[in-house]
Chain A
């Protein structure tokens, strides 16, 4: 059973494993530095569908099917699925999972959903109320643009702080302790809002939440940044990452040596014209499931803190001039079951 330590962190005593995982991306993702690590790349971003929303649902199906087939699992073996995306009422996940017959819990945590779904899957498995749980999220550049910004063909100029929504999806099957990657702990984040209103600078809106979550996790577990090989944030991008280091610096926490950001890893920022980096639920999910988890499996990465970050605004709240609340959830992934810090 999970044990709460400090105010925000749950240690998973049975250390569930990520049994299998799948990732899918499209053309722009394949042209980035991580292109070769994806399980499936479809250069046609419609994925053969007649709407962008259906294309996103197709990606959910592909990543889930990849995760299931790589672990030799049938959908009937999955006790519960946690899924979410950026579209209104999470239709990307809903239509993607519609025909799978897996008990379904829809989540909205914006771009933090991969950590949120993975954390809940791990908690369900750790508590032995699920044998196998599925965590999956997705985002699609075109479906996100039309919902949050402008039509694709509209001639506008993106400011340097803007980020590029990743067309991708990632899925993990979490089960009882078997082999690395293990999930040792999760930390549920609080909503943080320091008044950023610029929807073109979401990295800045999310950085305070990421800083709080990281600081609280280190405090709760009595560990230091040096205890981890990598502290991986979801999609802070270039500006959000710089702000995160500054915010933690004020708390005398230096994660410069360990910090990486999925939004900065997935694209070559200058060559691919993505301004401050990648973003979206699919950013953290696809980077985790293509590039990070295999490294933890092999042991080239041993202790990883995965902190997916979300900007919890809607087109309505933006139009009404509300500031953008941020959130960040943390999942501690590891190559071994041995614990440091709090036992």
Chain B
């Protein structure tokens, strides 16, 4: 038999301790999940706090391969599910209904992050990453809050969702650019990679809109197991190829998500959601373990400042978007406040940047920032009736 590197299967003390640590972390997450379900607080900030605490007190000794694989799979699944959330037709239709609000959203909410990144001297890549983190709302937190508060039927909800759809679409172009910028490649190579990445994004959108049903038909199978293996295989393969050509696995995953649509998308969502939940939870914890909790108090004032500014800009965005949908004053406020939550994708963006070697301070700042807004956003949404 050939010697394959499967250190965990070799057994022994190392494997035992890795399994025990993973199990322990998972149980902590399970307790937090219960807490989250009972209190209605999003689990994301709880996972981050757990990760910070675990990193601070225990400094668990996990093999780097395990950490790296769990993190990358978490990111890949999060972005795949973001891509699959809306069909190609919905994304394109979103441009018609929400273009103006989308532009307002981008300008108002990316600018504070970019400006602060530049002021802190984090370079173009750091500034673009921070801008992305302040720009993108948490569609996960927002969908949950709307459902919990029985506001799915409200008239401002189509306005909120149209903003989220445009953000989703913007990610198709933002992520490839970020992916190339954070590698710190020379300008000529970077321009080439960006061109490839953008072409791939347009291609994926075209495939989704024109041939989505054909892609879906190829992947479809009556048995869940076969469908799961087909989609996951395609997803990891494309993610790996994207990473190889220098445009980050996350981008590849997102584009696969966009290209899959129709009834296959529906079933895939159901099949992959539990996997995504598992690996995303690990990703949040591992991201937070990587943040030095001792640096957090120092980052807090800036995080609060950035939080206050970008809460106001998001409220303005939602207010404007709801107005274009003909919603009254109270509904405009609700739309604005609902959109303030930032969460999983801000962390993903920061995680990509930090892993690629952009300053660790970015990770600390975004961790503090998301902690604040993932907690405050839903609470404020509840209060504004």
Q: Tell me whether A and B are bound partners.
A: no
Q: Chain B residues in contact with chain A, CB under 8 A?
A: none
Q: Chain A residues in contact with chain B, CB under 8 A?
A: none
